[in-house]
Structure 1
Amino acid sequence: MRPVYAISGGVSKFAKSRPDKNYQALVKEAYDYAIKDLEISFPAFTEIVDGSVASYFSDHFSRQLMAAIMAQDYLGLCPKPSHRVEGGGATGGLCFQEAWKSIASGHMEVAAAYGFETMSHVETWKGNEFIALASDVSFDYPVGGFYSGYYAMMVTRHMKEYGTTVEDMAHVSVKNHINAFHNPYAQKRNRYTIQDVRDAPMVAWPLTRLDICVMSDGAAATILASEEGIEKLEKAGAKIPRPLVKVTGIGRGTDAMRMADRPHVDFETFIKDYATDQEKESQETMKYYQKLWDQGTRYPGVHSFRAGRTAGNMAYRHAGIHDPLDELDFVELHDAYTSSEIQTYEDLGLCRYGEGGPFAASGKAFLPGIDYGLKLPDKPVCPVNPSGGLIACGHPVGATGLMQAVFAIWQLQGSIEKHFNDDTLQVKDAQKGAIHSHAGTGTYVTVSILEKE
Structure 2
Amino acid sequence: MRDTYLVGAGQSDYGAFPEKSYRSLFRTAFEAATESVPNGIDGDDIDETFIGNLGVGGRQLGLSGPAVTEHVGLGGIPCTRVENACAASGFATRQAVQAVKSGMADVVLAGGFEIMSDMSSDATKYWLGVSGETEWERLSGTTFSGVYAQMASVHMERYGTTREHLSRVAVKNHSNGAKNPHAQLGFECSLEDAQSAPVVADPLNLYHCCPTSDGAACALIVSEDVVDDYTDDPIRIAGVGAGSDSVGLYQRDTYTGVPASQQAAESAYEMANVGPDNLDFAEVHDCFAIAELLAYEDLGFCERGEAGNLIESGATKLGGNLPVNTSGGLKSKGHPIGATGAGQVVEVFKQLSGEAGERQVENPTRGLTHNVGGSGGAAVVHVFEKEAEVSA
Aligned equivalent of 1:109: 106
In structure 1, which of residues 364, 387, 395 is the aligned counterpart of residue 315 of structure 2? Answer: 364
- Post-superposition offset of 1:166: 0.3
Amino acid at match of 2:24: A
CA contact (8 A) 1:61 1:122 kept: no
Q: Establish whether residue 258 from structure 1 lines up as the match of residue 230 from structure 2.
A: no
The residue identity in structure 1 corresponding to 2:274 is I
Give deviations 1:311-346, integer Å, cap 9, x for gaps: 111111111113x1x310000000000111001100
SS in 2 for 1:405: helix
Deviates more, 1:244-253 or 1:127-136: 127-136
Alpha-carbon deviation of 1:95? Answer: 0.7
Letter in 2 for 1:309: Q
Aligned to 2:371, the other structure's residue is in SS state strand
Match of 2:301 in 1: 350
Q: 3-state SS of the aligned residue for 2:134?
A: coil
In 1, the alpha carbon distance for the partners of 2:6 and 2:170 equals 29
2:64–2:81 CA contact under 8 A, matched in 1: no
| Deviation per residue, 1:254-294 (Å, 9 max, x gap) | 1111222223xxxxxxxxxxxxxxxxxxxxxxxxxxxxxxx
- Structure 1 runs (4+) deviating above 3 angstroms are none
C-alpha deviation, 1:19, in angstroms: 2.3
When residues 29 and 243 of structure 1 are mapped into structure 2, their CA distance, relative to the original with a 3 A threshold, is: same
Query: Which of 349, 352, 359 is the matching residue for 1:412?
Result: 352
Alignment of 1:35-50 (within 5 A): 35-38=34-37, 45-50=42-47
Larger mean CA deviation between 345-354 and 29-38 belongs to: 29-38
In structure 1, the partner of 2:266 is 313
Instruction: State the 1:439 CA deviation.
Output: 1.0
CA-to-partner distance for each residue in 1:51-102, whole Å, 9 max, x for gaps?
A: 1111101252525431111112102112111111111111111011111111
* Counterpart for residue 205 of structure 1: 202
Q: Secondary structure at the match of 2:380?
A: strand
Asked if structure 2 preserves the Cα contact closer than 8 Å seen for 1:11 and 1:29, the reply is yes
The aligned counterpart of 1:79 is 76
Which whole-Å CA distance do the structure 2 matches of 1:40 and 1:78 have between them? Answer: 24
The within-5 A match list for 1:207-356 is: 207-231=204-228, 234=229, 240=231, 242-263=232-253, 301-322=254-275, 324=276, 326-356=277-307
* 8 Å contact from structure 2 (residues 283, 368) kept in 1: yes
Q: Is the 8 A contact 2:54 2:83 kept in 1?
A: yes
In structure 2, what is the Cα distance between the partners aligned to 1:227 and 1:2?
Answer: 6
Distance change in 2, residues 1:56/1:148 (3 Å): same
Are residues 154 and 39 of structure 1, via their aligned partners in 2, closer, same or farther at CA, if it must alter by over 3 Å?
closer
Alignment deviations for residues 392-425 of structure 1 (CA, whole Å, 9 cap, x no partner): 0000011010010011011111122xxxxxx221
Are 1:11 and 2:11 matched, yes or no?
yes
- Structure 2: 5+ residue stretches without partners: 388-392
Matched, 1:431 2:362: no
Between the aligned partners of 1:203 and 1:140, the Cα distance in structure 2 is 17
Distance between the aligned counterparts of 1:248 and 1:352, measured in 2?
24
Q: Which residue of 1 aligns with 2:390?
A: none
Contact 2:26-2:217 within 8 A present in 1 as well:
yes
**Root mean square deviation, CA, Å:** 1.4
2 CA distance for matches of 1:319 and 1:262? 29
**How far 1:40 sits from its partner (Å)?**
6.5
Partner SS, residue 136 of structure 2: coil
- AA partner of residue 308 (structure 1): S
- Asked if the contact 2:56/2:116 (under 8 Å) is kept, the reply is no
TM (normalized to structure 1)?
Answer: 0.83
Distance in 1, matches of 2:274 and 2:6, equals 19
1:45-64 paired onto structure 2 within 5 Å:
45-60=42-57, 62=59, 64=61
Instruction: Note if 1:178 corresponds to 2:175.
Output: yes
Q: Which runs of 5+ in 1 are unaligned?
A: 264-300, 369-379, 417-422
SS class of match (1:119): coil
State the partner residue of 1:154.
Answer: 151
Q: Is 2:227–2:234's contact at 8 Å kept on the other side of the alignment?
A: no
Conservation of the 8 A alpha-carbon contact between 1:61 and 1:121: no
Alignment partner, residue 323 of structure 2: 383
| Amino acid in the other structure paired with 1:337 | F
Cα contact 1:116–1:398 (8 A) shared by 2:
yes
- 1:193 lines up with 2:133 in the alignment: no
Q: Which has the larger radius of gyration?
A: 1
